[in-house]
Amino acid sequence: MRVTVLKGPEIAYAEAETCLVIPVYERDFPLMSNALVNEDELILQALFDKEVFLGKTGEAYCLPRPTGPYKAVLIVGLGKKEACSAEALRRAAGVAAELFRKHRVTHVYLDASHHPEWPVTAFLEGIVLGQYDFDVYKKPEPDSPAPIKVQDLTILVSNTADGAALQQEAQLAVLICLSANGARHLANTAPNEMNPSALAAFAQGIADESGCECTILDEMQMASLGMNALLGVARGSAQPPKFIVLRYHYRDDARTIAIVGKGITFDSGGISIKPAENMHEMKYDMCGAAAVLCTMLSIVEFKPKLNVVCVVPSSENMTGDAAQRPGDIVKAYNGTTIEILNTDAEGRLVLADALAYTVDKYKPDAIVDLATLTGSVVVALGHYAAGVLGNNEALITSLCETGEKTGERLWHLPLWEEYERLIDGTHADVANIGPRGEAGVITGAAFLKRFVGDTPWAHLDIAGTAWGAKNVPYLSDKHASGFGVRLLVHWLLSQQEPS
């Protein structure tokens, strides 16, 4: 999608399927748009007077204008002016994107000229995310034309706006959302195809295109490094596990931040097998991996002033005859022995080795992990926020603030000493689960904490937000959400050295 910023009244609606879009606050009529022709202004005013359209959240009205300068006018509701935020614009854009698809709109003029207060790029985000579809496995519908997307978007701004800055910000926003869509695509892909080797190949592809460094450890190399927690999980699967490291290097003396993503490409639960209902959703158990890998798509493009190490421990969790048993004890990379009480608590096992290895090998200044770790976080927060836990308040606060801006909410949960005791091992240093029904999201994090040492660390449990978004117009509930990509990219950019 090409984005252009345009000032002043000179608008040339040359293209065929142009749609003029006017976002509207609730009951904020008459409309202010210099782009509208008089007659349309009257029609839209009538819609308001008759209460057909009031500008409420979720409302939209598309008026086709076959003979006009633009082929349609679309008004979208932003809800109450006082409550308007970037997220309101993003959601309104999601509603608009659905109508663009229906009306086969390819060119959009967005009138923001009377509203310098709008974070316009959020609207672009809503469109790029809202237009995502996943239809690679379906044969095209025989009698309907192929779906099309918006190719050109022109933002109309006031004469006093900083057009160049907005243009750059817009380009950035589009790119970041395309990275998020990349993560959604990896996650949606069927698990018979999206296995650890496929994730590794994807990472290698990023390295090949960008020139950054990619290292992929195989089973033998992992064994000689002592990554037995990860290898224990992989034992039940015919698919070989992969330990993926992708590094963007800025300068030796710059800060290094590590992002680590759980890459279980299918989680059957292993011997502690899951119920059949919804088990297919466990193809999404690599959403943490998808998020950190696709974050790197933007990072290699933007080349920020910091070093970023992206780490993905990837395996399937299956029930083959060599599968790990409940009762097994394994020794992780950092020497900690782990008593496996439930083979379904496998995410923390692969992350244990990944976190310990990352801290030891790359000595990052901070480490953030993303994982679909527990069903418990869904019980606690539903699909509206990810849980965030860690050992560093400042790190957690800065992540929460970024999440608020990007509409990827994080909620800070405690990690008090008492919780840490819940996973003390009976026959080993630590057990891989705590007492049933007690603060599962926290005991999951308490387990991970034992593998990060003193490194500032935050853990995002994204099990509730990685797919099945509820009532978010720019995200379909049938697909992965790409949660974490926009958050991580924006947060990483905020961590750069001051220039």
Residue 494, CA distances (Å) to 254, 287, 307, 439 in order: 14, 23, 13, 32
Question: Minimum distance from CB of 268 to Mn ion (Å)?
Answer: 8
Catalytic residue list contains 305: no
Residue 277 burial by Cβ neighbours in a 10 Å radius (0-12, 13-18, 19+) = exposed
Choice between 222 and 371, CB closer to ligand BES: 371
Residue 310, CA distances (Å) to 17, 146, 259, 372 in order: 42, 37, 5, 17
Choice between 17 and 346, CB closer to ligand BES: 346
Choice between 371 and 396, CB closer to Zn ion: 371
Choice between 337 and 342, CB closer to ligand BES: 342
Query: d(Cα 317, Cα 499) in Å, to the nearest integer?
Result: 45
Residues 6+ positions from 49 with CB-CB distance below 8 Å:
none
Query: d(Cα 419, Cα 234) in Å, to the nearest integer?
Result: 28
Q: Are 351 and 262 in contact (CB under 8 A)?
A: yes
Question: Minimum distance from CB of 347 to Zn ion (Å)?
Answer: 4
Sheet holding 430-431, edge to edge: 329-331, 337-339, 430-431
Question: Minimum distance from CB of 397 to Zn ion (Å)?
Answer: 28
Query: d(Cα 76, Cα 23) in Å, to the nearest integer?
Result: 5
Q: Please tell me whether residue 14 adopts helix, strand or coil conformation.
A: coil
Q: Are 85 and 129 in contact (CB under 8 A)?
A: no
Choice between 267 and 353, CB closer to Zn ion: 267
Structure tokens of 466?
Answer: 């990685």
Q: Which does 440 bind (CB under 5 to 8 A by kind): ligand BES, Mn ion, Zn ion, none?
A: ligand BES
Question: Minimum distance from CB of 269 to Mn ion (Å)?
Answer: 5
| H or E element that contains 100 | helix 86-103
Catalytic residue list contains 90: no
Q: How far is CA 180 from the centre of its chain?
A: 5
- What percent helix, strand, coil does the chain show, rounded to 5? 35, 20, 45
Closest CA to 74 of 60, 85, 53, 59: 60
Does residue 369 belong to the site contacting Zn ion (CB under 5 A)?
no
Q: Which does 481 bind (CB under 5 to 8 A by kind): Zn ion, Mn ion, ligand BES, none?
A: none
Q: Which residue is nearest to Mn ion (CB)?
A: 344
Query: d(Cα 130, Cα 482) in Å, to the nearest integer?
Result: 12
Q: Are 236 and 319 in contact (CB under 8 A)?
A: yes
Query: d(Cα 141, Cα 50) in Å, to the nearest integer?
Result: 38
- Of 242, 262, 348, 450, which one is the catalytic site residue? 348
Query: d(Cα 236, Cα 325) in Å, to the nearest integer?
Result: 10
Choice between 108 and 234, CB closer to Mn ion: 234
Q: Are 341 and 424 in contact (CB under 8 A)?
A: no
- Of 81, 101, 274, 361, which one is the catalytic site residue? 274
Does residue 267 belong to the site contacting Zn ion (CB under 5 A)?
yes
Question: Minimum distance from CB of 346 to ligand BES (Å)?
Answer: 5
Q: Are 97 and 131 in contact (CB under 8 A)?
A: yes
Choice between 366 and 433, CB closer to ligand BES: 433
Choice between 35 and 318, CB closer to ligand BES: 318
Question: Minimum distance from CB of 12 to ligand BES (Å)?
Answer: 50
Helix pair 393-406, 485-494: axis angle to 10 deg: 120
Q: Which does 433 bind (CB under 5 to 8 A by kind): ligand BES, Mn ion, Zn ion, none?
A: ligand BES
Instruction: Give the residues lining the site for Mn ion (CB under 5 A).
Output: 267, 344, 346
Question: Minimum distance from CB of 198 to ligand BES (Å)?
Answer: 19
Choice between 317 and 334, CB closer to ligand BES: 317
Question: Minimum distance from CB of 202 to Zn ion (Å)?
Answer: 20
Question: Minimum distance from CB of 280 to ligand BES (Å)?
Answer: 12
DSSP state letter for 473: T
Closest CA to 489 of 299, 310, 260: 299
Closest CA to 244 of 318, 317, 309, 323: 309
Q: Which of 191, 232, 241, 347 binds Zn ion (CB under 5 A)?
A: 347
Q: Which does 125 bind (CB under 5 to 8 A by kind): Mn ion, Zn ion, ligand BES, none?
A: none
Instruction: Give the residues lining the site for ligand BES (CB under 6 A).
Output: 267, 285, 342, 344-347, 372-376, 378, 433, 440, 463
Does residue 420 belong to the site contacting Zn ion (CB under 5 A)?
no
Q: Which does 463 bind (CB under 5 to 8 A by kind): ligand BES, Mn ion, Zn ion, none?
A: ligand BES
Catalytic residues: 274, 348
Chain positions contacting Zn ion, by CB under 5 A: 264, 267, 285, 347
